[in-house]
Structure 1
Amino acid sequence: MSAKKPAEQSPESIARSNRQRLAAEEGVRAMADAEKQSVDIRKNMARLRELREAKEAADATLQASSPATIPAKRKKKLPR
């Protein structure tokens, strides 16, 4: 068995390793961006939920404070 000498890298292997490194860096950035977007979405959903609940509470208070309306009775038609 002969010992292998450390060979110089070919231009193709250098290019391949650069592509792999760039892809890994882009993947990390994409994951961070996706996580940030999901946090922003959850914050917006919480804000909208608070607004909806406040509106529902205000509507319920308004409805409870106003007098209940009694529906008018329908008049019967007289036979001709």
Structure 2
Amino acid sequence: MSTKRSAGPSPEGIARSERQRAAAEEGARAMADAERQSFDVRKNMARLRELREAKEIADANLRASLPAPVPKKRAKKSPR
């Protein structure tokens, strides 16, 4: 009863390790891309928030500077 041992890794093993290495590299690239996109989204959200808040302040200042609206008098109903 003799056991068979190969001197080096099998072609299937080499192919498997190559696929694993490629998958790990692709995963690292995908994670980096996702982080970059997430950063860009947060940066844009902050920019839009600042614009919205500035517009709200400008609108509030404009409303405060305008005279108060004069309430309209009710028209009398005409008799039938």
CA displacement 1:7-43 (0-9 Å, x = unmatched): 3111111111000000001111111111111111110
2:62 alignment counterpart: 62
Q: Partner amino acid for 1:16?
A: R
1:49 alignment counterpart: 49
The yes-or-no answer on 1:34 pairing with 2:26 is: no
2:14 alignment counterpart: 14
TM-score, normalising length from structure 2?
A: 0.88
- Structure 2: runs of 5 or more not aligned: none
Alignment size in residue pairs: 79
Q: Distance in 2 between matches of 1:39 and 1:76?
A: 62
TM-score, normalising length from structure 1?
A: 0.88
1:79 alignment counterpart: 79
Deviation at 1:71, TM superposition (A): 2.5
Secondary structure of the residue aligned to 1:69 is: coil
